[in-house]
Amino acid sequence: MKDVSFGQFYPVNSFVHRLDPRLKIVFLIAYIVAIFLATNFYELAACALVLLLIVFFARIPIGKVLRAVRGVTFLVLFTTALNLLFYKGDTVYWEWGIFCVSFEGIIFSVFLALRLVLLVVCSSMLTYTTTPVSLTDGVESLLTPLKWIRIPVHALALVMSIALRMIPVLMDETSRIKNAQMARGADFESGNIIKRVKATIPILVPLLLSALRRADELGDAMDARCYTGGDHRTKYKKLRFTWRDLVAFLLGAALIAGVVLMRIYLPASY
């Protein structure tokens, strides 16, 4: 779990960190749309170039960015292997029963793996450059129209903020419980997959109890401070658009336009 980057904030005074959280959320959605619109490696290269620019201006270490990818390595490899073995193409290199390895399958598998990596990195960049409070304020502001149909937007934003804050806390708690169990002679590395799953039970049970205890303590603390949500609450920091947000908006619009134009004028790679 130490490789899980979602919910972690990297404090740096950079151009990307100072952007409005609402714009970063919208940009992330637009970036994901651009990745799914990409049908060839030229479009995917354009998306990767934009992401590299974001990492550069955010001043996030490359090692920390790659750590986010390392956390989903198994998922990427498993998805790539499935598509490699079950994608039917015209140029077949190897075939056995329902399994088939073709040139088109290799291209599609590589394309899918790159797409998943870009999705993970761009999602982690949002939490790396945005504090949970700012992210919650941005989501609440974007969901303001839902208040017209009496949806508790503030409560939803509060739940999301608490969930984001609890991710690194539970990660640290898991590490402490695991180290304590290993000090008592627990073995989490040897044996087959079934034994390893059974070995995690001494970690999951205390972790669940700790999470419930923390939730109960948080609820008592909010009650003791007379916390009440609603429209009458004021904010310490008000969100405002600046020239940086305009630059980021133009970059996102140029990315979408470029992907659409390449989708029209360049053929698909698979």
Identify whether the C-beta of residue 80 lies closer than 8 Å to the C-beta of residue 113: yes
- Computed on alpha carbons and rounded to an integer, the radius of gyration of the chain in Å comes to 22
Q: Is the dihedral of CA 210, 216, 219, 220 positive or negative?
A: negative
Q: For 35-55, what is each residue's pLDDT tens digit?
A: 888 877 888 888 888 888 888
The whole-number pLDDT of residue 1 equals 47
The whole-number pLDDT of residue 22 equals 86
Query: What are the structural domain ranges in the chain?
Result: 21-157+238-265
Q: For 71-118, what is each residue's pLDDT tens digit?
A: 778 888 888 888 777 777 677 777 777 777 777 778 888 888 888 888
The whole-number pLDDT of residue 269 equals 52
Backbone region of residue 185 per phi and psi (left: phi > 0; alpha: psi in -120 to 50; beta: other values): left
Confidence of residue 215 (pLDDT cuts 50, 70, 90): confident
Confidence of residue 168 (pLDDT cuts 50, 70, 90): confident
Asked if pLDDT for residue 240 goes beyond 60, the answer is yes
What's the CA gap between 109 and 9, in Å, rounded?
32
Asked if pLDDT for residue 138 goes beyond 50, the answer is yes
**Structure token digits, residue 9:** 């904030």
Helix (H) and strand (E) counts in the chain = 10, 2
**Which helix (DSSP H) or strand (DSSP E) does residue 195 occupy?**
helix 193-199
Asked if pLDDT for residue 5 goes beyond 60, the answer is no
What's the CA gap between 244 and 58, in Å, rounded?
13
